[in-house]
Amino acid sequence: MRRETSVPRDGWQEIIESQGLAYHRTAHPGHLTRPYWDESVHYSFTMDEVLALESQTEELHGMCLEAAGHVIATGRYRDFAIPDWVAPEIEASWRRGDPHVYGRFDLRYDGAGPAKLLEYNADTPTSLVETSLIQWFWLKDVHPGDDQWNSVHERLIARWKELPLQSGPAHFAWTNMDETGEEAMTLGYLQETAEQAGRTTVAIAMEDIGWDPASGRFLDMERRVIRTLCKLYPWEWAVADPFGPQAVRQQVSMTWIEPLWKMLLSNKALLAVLWEMYPGHPNLLPAYLDGPRDLPAHIRKPLLGREGAGMRVVTPGGVEETGGEYGAEGHVYQEFQALPGFDGWRPVLGAWIVGDEAAGLGIRETSGLITDDSSSFVPHRIVL
């Protein structure tokens, strides 16, 4: 694993915008001088490194599924700040095997030892367009003789083909709260892969979904019954909405992507449950729900935090915190291992799962200790 420099392509901004990364200017804090998509650098890997990461990612995914089953069997929903009334529907969703599509593991990896799980973005993962499309086209333009860990596009199409969706069009819903366009473009890309799989689709804003009390069903703007809904709207938000009870209890008559049981995997309490079930596992960091215990350095993470908000890093050298409104739901305390440094920058590896198989890699870099919305996405290649 090496960090290498290269000359950006002429007109790279227009190139990536034409390929779907229309939000690279808006989804990044405007005061930053470094662009969100930065192709002046990239990471190179050997095939052996990538094969090892693939295997570890799939093992982690299997462990997470086992952990979800354990939480349901033991009824540990309060550790996840899940309301009591939602718990029976999560269990029912799990027992039915409601289908899932994708997720992204965030990993610490330095090329010298096993990857370490930082968190699992299992419900509403982003950076999908960058991973699947933008860095692939970069590779073909700049390093056409090399390879890339990237079968995301093909696997998404295959996954949509095999899903047992309900009749009628699949609806893809963004929220008008997204001012950057990232959510709309990500859902647009997911919608495109579903169409390439032969599915009929409809785009809709979450705010335009209606509820029909007579039929007890959700409807779109043309009063069509919504039978399949793919969203980037977190389940913890949906549960708290006025129509949350209807959404939760529509699990039988609708297919939700991602399903309700993913609430257990997208919650950072999962980290502590994994450590209880697999203590000392080489791909895990010690994590606890009741405090840092004897950890000499730890990071306190809100159970439902996003984009690095509400984090608190405690080391013998001091304390570093990020702002944010998360944390009222509770925290998990995970051993802190600083991200590895490459030329003063620290990468987080985003390893994608589609279905139950490892599918690709996206990398974001930060100059600090915590990856947040100021971090840049950089491409990678496998040197052949």
Q: Is residue 26's pLDDT more than 80? A: no
Segments making up each domain of the chain, as ranges: 2-267+340-382
User: Which tokens in the block code for residue 170?
Assistant: 């699949």
Neighbouring C-alpha atoms within 13 Å toward the C-beta of 72: 22
pTM: 0.95
pLDDT at 166 (0 to 100): 84
Name the band, by pLDDT with cuts 50, 70 and 90, for residue 27. low
What is the per-residue pLDDT across 295-350, written as a single tens digit (0 to 9) for each? 999 999 999 988 778 889 999 989 988 888 888 899 999 999 999 999 999 999 99
Maximum distance among all alpha carbons in the chain?
A: 62
Instruction: Note whether 274 and 339 are within 8 A (CB).
Output: no
What is the spatial distance between Cα 293 and Cα 286, in angstroms, rounded to a whole number? 10
Name the band, by pLDDT with cuts 50, 70 and 90, for residue 188. very high
Amino acid occupying residue 358:
A
Q: What percent of the chain has pLDDT over 70?
A: 99
Angle value at C-alpha 31, between 28 and 32, nearest 5 degrees? 65
Compute, in degrees rounded to 10, the torsion defined by CA atoms 307, 338, 42, 38.
Answer: 40
pLDDT at 324 (0 to 100): 81
Instruction: Note whether 119 and 287 are within 8 A (CB).
Output: no
What is the per-residue pLDDT across 87-112, written as a single tens digit (0 to 9) for each? 999 999 999 999 999 999 999 999 99
Q: What percent of the chain has pLDDT over 90?
A: 84
What is the per-residue pLDDT across 227-243, written as a single tens digit (0 to 9) for each? 999 999 999 999 999 99
Instruction: Note whether 172 and 204 are within 8 A (CB).
Output: yes
Residue for token digits 């001088």? 33
Amino acid occupying residue 87:
A
Instruction: Note whether 164 and 371 are within 8 A (CB).
Output: no
What is the per-residue pLDDT across 114-161, written as a single tens digit (0 to 9) for each? 999 999 999 999 999 999 999 999 999 999 999 999 999 999 999 999
Total Cβ atoms within 10 A of residue 33: 4
